[in-house]
Structure 1
């Protein structure tokens, strides 16, 4: 398995010999196990072992990728069985995920040296394989289809909650789940970047921001559209047009080798030209994969470098208190020659 050899190489570069993997996304990435919250992975110089309990005896064996050994054991027994395999080794632990209690249990069970690591597996996850890209593409295609089915119900007299429920139901009926809590924010609530759907009734003249994604077979999508109900005010149309221009300019600027902070500046500078610098209150975007928010980080000053195989969002926004807001977001694959937009739902044009 190429990814396991990459892990071992990364471990060697840090002077380590083994890795105890507890982060669910990393467990799934390295093992293929589809219930990673209930699994742990141990990478040693000679083996890759997936530890889970007896509820998953069949599932783990079906899911495990080639070269991954499945060990069915209770959490305590798993540590006891793993102890001889790490005796005397320098073992990396995932500092951002392993709890203090979890570390104490390791220290009691293993005669090993523990060293905190950060980003070791996540750095590998930055670059999606063809299979992962296919998985993300399928999730986004599904989200586009569901949005198209629900779009006609976004009209005056309908509650934000009803729109969110319809999106979630559409995803469920298609065999997916919602990647995160659906955002539906209409009218003055559009000024809330993370305005979870409420019982507010959509009104004529509202702009309605809809941010949602599908989780399909472990991989996520993420997309935002701001749609018009009736005829929004001239000021709302002006803000929308500015955000759309910033979003499309940023997408068009994507290329491998570009610093993420420079891409953020493309959208931020354009919005500033429209007097909306202060209204753009968040970063331009983020990576998407097994986790809906992962690296790279597309933010002001970010030194992350875009490379082929990364899947990112481009999502500038402008939010004006007591007026409303706009966010437009596309899911984009960075390619060898530039980019491919994976989200295809239509955008408003004024």
Structure 2
């Protein structure tokens, strides 16, 4: 893994060299994780011009310096190369790792530093400038996010693991009695099951919605109880080795769905299938969105569709690319995305169907579906 991480840092350094950056300071947590592996919270990464890279962070409070070595990854002492091959600098409490990284570069004579301006507040940016008054601060301009777009097979394997855990947790819930239980209780149970099956934790706050709440994107679970005849929408995902997936499914509580429920479900299902089939390398991002949006609009529910049909996933939920009407660019192979159209009818409820897939060329079988729980409209 250290060779992979070193390769990522070298690639970033090569891309930034033409812009004149003498060194790079990475402060956005997901980007630090991508380039350095698991690190303490709040760490910053300094990439030197000659590959002399340093990870700066506060000492991990879980590590007892006088006790026996803990199990699992251990935050090393200052100057000691860790698993990622980096030198490390352990900071005093209260010291900002990004500011310390800029100061270290300036002390080494670096006169030009690229920083992640999109992640910095104005106040923090001023502190960075004050730490190196003779250096020019330039914008790294989301270079790490662009590099993260295409996943290697090790990253995709972690996403598969997250999806397997998520499918197991959801499958077990469907085998239990649901009527009379609250949205909040079901969401907590799902998150417990994710951890029981090996997840680091939930990829995002689990959403369980019933009745009139069903189909709402990002619905926060309430104390409403599941009732016969309800639509039940569930959205969850596991984080596994830092990588996150997403699944969303809709079910009916009872024995026979109502005609309007069947009709609405079939519309969303057709829209989701159309978008999934459009996931080919070279496809325009907005064309994938349009594939789903056209189906829902033709059924008379165009105003009920959200602003995006899906987005990238990896170390975060909601990475680039965005599948939306205004999105620019095209899909590439080995880019994992969600496809998640939904329709909510105020006062009645709605349907959401979310999957995580990896874009693959037709010669390789087309898009790889990671979340495999059935999309049949089950009556539970």
| TM-score tier (shorter) | over 0.9
Q: Please point out which of 140, 148, 153 is paired with 1:117.
A: 140
**Pairing 1:307–2:307 present:** no
Match of 1:168 in 2: 191
Report the Cα distance in structure 1 between the residues aligned to 2:216 and 2:259, rounded to whole angstroms: 20
Aligned match of 1:179 = 203
- Pair 1:224-2:248 in alignment: yes
Q: Distance in 2 between matches of 1:154 and 1:20?
A: 52
> How many angstroms apart in 2 are the aligned matches of 1:39 and 1:137?
27
The structural deviation recorded for 1:224 is: 0.3
Three-state SS of the structure 2 residue aligned to 1:281 is coil
Q: Residue deviations 1:195-237, cap 9 Å, x none?
A: 1111101111111110011111211111101111113321121
Q: Tell me, in whole angstroms, the C-alpha distance in 2 between the residues paired with 1:184 and 1:63.
A: 44
CA distance in 1, matches of 2:376, 2:356: 17
Q: 2:310–2:340: 8 Å Cα contact kept in structure 1?
A: yes
Q: Does the 8 A contact of 2:340 with 2:354 survive in 1?
A: yes
Per-residue deviation at 1:308?
Answer: 1.0
My pick for the range that moved more, 14-23 or 119-128, is 14-23
Note the 1:200-215 alignment, pairs <5 A.
200-215=224-239
Partner of 2:371: 343
Report the CA distance between 1:317 and its aligned residue.
Answer: 0.6
Q: Which of 42, 48, 51 is equivalent to 2:46?
A: 42
Q: Is the aligned partner of 1:22 residue 2:35?
A: no
* Structure 1, unpaired ranges of 5+: none
Determine the C-alpha separation between the residues in 2 that align with 1:285 and 1:64.
Answer: 37
Q: CA deviation at 1:54?
A: 2.5
* Separation of aligned partners in 1, 2:218 and 2:253: 20
Deviation at 1:305, TM superposition (A): 1.3
Tell me the CA shift for residue 271 of structure 1: 1.1
6-15 vs 223-232, greater mean Cα deviation: 6-15
Q: How many residues align?
A: 348
Pick from 94, 106, 111 the counterpart of residue 83 of structure 1.
106
Q: Quick one: which of 142, 152, 164 aligns to 1:129?
A: 152
Contact residue 34 and residue 63 of structure 1 kept, 8 A: no
Contact 2:81 2:87 in 1 (8 A): no
Matches within 5 A, 1:1-350: 1-35=6-40, 37-46=41-50, 47-55=52-60, 59-61=74-76, 64-74=82-92, 75=95, 78-79=100-101, 80-85=103-108, 87-110=109-132, 111-153=134-176, 155-176=178-199, 177-230=201-254, 231-337=256-362, 338-349=366-377
**Higher helix proportion, which one?**
1
> Which whole-Å CA distance do the structure 2 matches of 1:336 and 1:3 have between them?
24
TM-score (norm 2): 0.86
Residue 34 to residue 137, structure 1, CA distance change in 2 (3 Å): farther
Deviation, 1:65, is 4.5
Structure 1 residues 34, 134: closer, same or farther in 2, change over 3 A?
Answer: farther
**Cα distance, 1:187 vs structure 2:** 0.9
Deviations 1:121-170 (A, max 9, x none): 00000011111111111011100111111112363212111210110111
Normalising to structure 1: TM-score of the pair? Answer: 0.93
Aligned partners of 1:64 and 1:32: how far apart in 2? Answer: 10
Q: 1:275 Cα deviation (Å)?
A: 1.4
Contact 2:117 2:141 in 1 (8 A): yes
The answer as to whether partners of 1:154 and 1:229 remain within 8 angstroms in 2 is: no
Using the TM superposition, give the Cα deviation of residue 66 of structure 1 relative to its aligned residue in structure 2, in angstroms.
4.0
**CA-to-aligned-CA distance 1:277-307 (integer Å, 9 cap, x gap):** 1121231000000011100111112113111
Unaligned runs of 5+ in 2: 1-5, 64-72
